[in-house]
């Protein structure tokens, strides 16, 4: 299993010339999952992704994760921000 993450100002997914979905500023995750990857591995990787400190804090230091940036630590708030990430 591999994940490539990139902070973006906007991103979209195009299938057969049609935009399937799009986001504004946020985090783009390109994810490769193999047949031998387990549910535990998927959950572990998702947990790592949401806790990576890749967003700037009030002092401009890369010290905030997705959890800190969007939900300030509350799993229920994170689910409302990123329901497909946790499902």
Does 61 have pLDDT greater than 90? no
Distance CA 83, CA 19 (A): 20
Give mean pLDDT, residues 35-62: 87
Return the pLDDT at 21: 93
3 pLDDT exceeds 90?
yes
Would you kindly state where each structural domain of the chain is located, as residue ranges?
A: 2-86
In this predicted structure, what is the pLDDT of residue 82? 55
Question: What pLDDT was estimated at residue 36?
Answer: 94
Model confidence, pTM: 0.65
- Which top CATH class is 2-86? alpha beta
Asked if the model's pLDDT at residue 59 lies above 90, the reply is no
In the block, residue with structure tokens 């902070």 = 7
- pLDDT higher for 77 or 44? 44
Q: Find out whether 77 and 71 touch, Cβ atoms under 8 Å.
A: yes
């Amino acid at each position: 299993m591999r994940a490539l993450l990139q902070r973006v100002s906007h991103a979209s997914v195009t299938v057969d010339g049609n935009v399937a979905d799009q986001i504004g500023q946020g985090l783009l995750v390109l994810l490769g999952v193999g047949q031998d990857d387990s549910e535990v591995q998927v959950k572990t990787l998702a947990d790592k992704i949401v806790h990576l400190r890749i967003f700037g804090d009030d002092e401009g230091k890369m010290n905030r994760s997705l959890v800190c940036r969007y939900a300030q630590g509350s799993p229920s708030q994170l689910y409302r921000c990123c329901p497909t990430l946790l499902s």
